[in-house]
Chain A
Amino acid sequence: MTLANGAWLLLAICLPAAAATVGGDLSDQNGAPVVNAVISLRPLSGSPPIAKPPAAVELDQRNREFIPHVLVAPLGAAVNFPNHDHILHHVYSFSPAKRFELKLYKDVTPPPVVFDQAGVAVLGCNIHDWMVAYVYVSDTPYYAQSDASGHWSIAAPAGAYRLNIWHPYLAGAPLAADVVAGDAQAAPLRFSLDLKTRAATGKPPDSLQFGEGYNGEP
């Protein structure tokens, strides 16, 4: 993992506590933009304020796929799992960040699941083995998710931060760097991530030769 030139050149010009924006672009080892990375900022001194969980967060089951593939939610967020398919799904996670199972009937949304511990929960479906989703539970309110062009941007009070970048296909440990938020005119931060795969996981097979899913073989 490398830091591109200029990554460290973000300047602090604004007054402390004034709102600032930190942003940039992510690419992989081949220079292609990286979608679905989670970028978060934690103040170097003190702990981040507690974010108010948003009113509604959804992780949808649609066309035998979790949508979105990566969901970022603040600590304490209540996530709904609506089933828009006409078949059953059986969502589960045994990740330490959140262990649960949800039996999803057709068109019935059960009570939301509260993610009360920071970390990453990997979700699967017991009926459709290919279905995978990641819920990144953030204990800082300053986070963003990179878009299809690899772009991200976080609004945070001016100050010095430890920046973390996580991605489900990251080959090594999450990337970390110290940044200073303050200059609205600062050059965008550019990071390169080493990814294990570029193939989108969690997608249903594109041929009906592979049937409905689980065939039961060890």
Chain B
Amino acid sequence: MHTWTHGMIAACLCAWSACAGADADGLDWSLRGLLDLRYLDTGGQAAALNGGLGKFRYSGERVLVNQAALVAQARLNWDWSASVTGKYAYAQDNPIDFSEALLQYRPVGDSAWRLSGRFGAFLPPVSLENSGLAWSSPYTLSNSAINSWIGEEVKVFGSELQLNYQFAPGNKIGLFAAGFGNNDTAGVLLAWRGWDLSDYVAGFGDSYQVPKSVNIAGLFPKQAAQTQPFSEVDNQPGYYVGFNIESSQRLKLRGMFYDNRGNPSVSRMGQYSWHTRFGNLGLKLQLPWNFELIGESLLGETQMGAERGGLFAVDTTFWAESLLLSWAYRQHRLSVRYDDFGASGHDYLPQDPTSETGHAVTCNYNFTFAEHHQLNLEFSQIDSQRASRAELGLTPGQNQTLWQIAYRFFF
């Protein structure tokens, strides 16, 4: 008994010292963040995220704290790490909310094959622009039309597995697949409001005002005045699958297909389940003389409401593409992006037109100094045609501009 007790104590001490060792040396964590201050000059149509049919996130604001985000990363062991992004953002529903929280599995093997994964709440891998901290872009302040929508409405709670074959560190080809929930309302804004240019990433508890123009309350009395982008309505999981080809510092090609498998006849607590699927393809190329080219395209469809004779209450096909050219010279970066987008409705309710067309140009100059600081000057212009604006007494064709000066601090 005595020996047994000693053995137990010794074993406990060993285990404790092993844990303590892991704590002292094995656990690695970091806290990083960004502060984003803006001076704006904008036309003043109702903001895209506040029930308006404008194409920017702002409507007449001048000076604001656009975002303050913190990213905490912890290495749990050599294969697993955790990452959480919390933020304050201008016009966010809750003063503080989270935009991503996930576990990452990434073991090292001695073979060229590598299996890795992400588990939790995260953005599907669509954007090739938003490679910075807290999904910020080093190229522009406003994201492309595609990535504006991804940030606003496409976030999953699920598991993603990646299988890569590596030729050398950084050179790889791979496949990935994910199963997820909590994204049944993806498509609401795209159908009822249309595309926009914003830099907003939805928080877990976020909600956006549903556009007021198209008598949604009359046509869909069950729809709440707010849409909640991160919600599960029909308890039916969705999936996405894709491929990636990457050559370190030379090119990245990625394509994926997303289907939230929403059951369009289900609604719950003011939220409908939208059946949204899209395919997208992105290419990022490093060109000579420090030029970079990013091209992305996306084509999809969203349906809502019970099917009636092969038609839905809302059925909108949407597409967008963007081409970004960026030139870096020392700490300076100059970027120009062209966006082209559209949507077309083909449903049995002509009272809520969801069709639109448009294109946008964004020019950004930024200067990064002392690793931490970045000054931006950006101009964006969007030309768009949207029939549903007529219901607000507006002309369907609108031309909007936005000037932004931003100071961003990274730590």
Contacts and interface: CB of A to CB of B under 8 A. Distances in A.
Interface stretch (A31-39, A142-150, A158-166, A204-212): A204-212
B170 interface: yes
Contact of B32 (A123, A124, A201, A212): A212
B93 interface: no
A103 interface: yes
A56 interface: no
B176 A207 contact: no
B396 interface: no
A62 interface: no
Contacts of B346: none
Contacts of A87: 28, 30
Given A94-B112, A122-B169, A218-B176, A210 B249 contact: no
B242 interface: yes
Contacts of A129: 169-170
A126 interface: yes
Contacts, number: 100
A218 B410 contact: no
A120 to B, nearest CB: 10
B168 interface: yes
Interface in B28-52: 28, 30, 32, 34
Nearest to B102: A216
A102 to B, nearest CB: 9
Given A124-B169, A208-B411, A216 B254 contact: no
A132 interface: yes
B138 A207 contact: yes
B248 interface: yes
Contacts of B322: none
B73 A212 contact: yes
A126 B108 contact: yes
Interface size bracket, A side: 35 or more
B225 to A, nearest CB: 34
A208 B249 contact: no
Contacts of A206: 331, 368, 371
Given A218-B125, A218-B162, A208 B372 contact: yes
Nearest to A101: B108
**Which one of A94, A126, A216 has the highest number of Cβ atoms from chain B below 10 Å of its Cβ?**
A216
B104 interface: yes
Nearest to B127: A217
Contacts of B112: 94
Contacts of B168: 95, 122, 124
B216 interface: no
B174 interface: yes
Nearest to B30: A212
Contact of A208 (B110, B131, B133, B254): B133
Nearest to B71: A211
B78 A103 contact: yes
Interface in B105-138: 106, 108-112, 116, 118, 122, 125, 131-133, 136, 138
Contacts of A215: 131
A188 B29 CA distance: 52
Given A124-B169, A208-B410, A209-B34, A214 B371 contact: no
A209 B368 contact: yes
B320 to A, nearest CB: 20
B244 A218 contact: yes
A131 B102 CA distance: 24
Interface of A: 87-88, 90, 92, 94-95, 99-101, 103, 105-106, 108, 122-124, 126-127, 129, 132, 197, 199, 201, 206-212, 214-218
Query: Which 7 A-B pairs rank lowest in CB-CB distance, beginning with the nearest?
Result: A124-B169, A208-B410, A99-B110, A209-B132, A218-B176, A105-B25, A92-B108
6 contacts: A100-B110, A208-B411, A209-B136, A212-B32, A218-B160, A218-B254
Interface of B: 25-26, 28, 30, 32, 34, 71, 73, 75, 78, 83, 102, 104, 106, 108-112, 116, 118, 122, 125, 131-133, 136, 138, 160, 162, 164, 166, 168-170, 174, 176, 242, 244, 248-249, 254, 331, 368, 371-372, 374, 408, 410-411
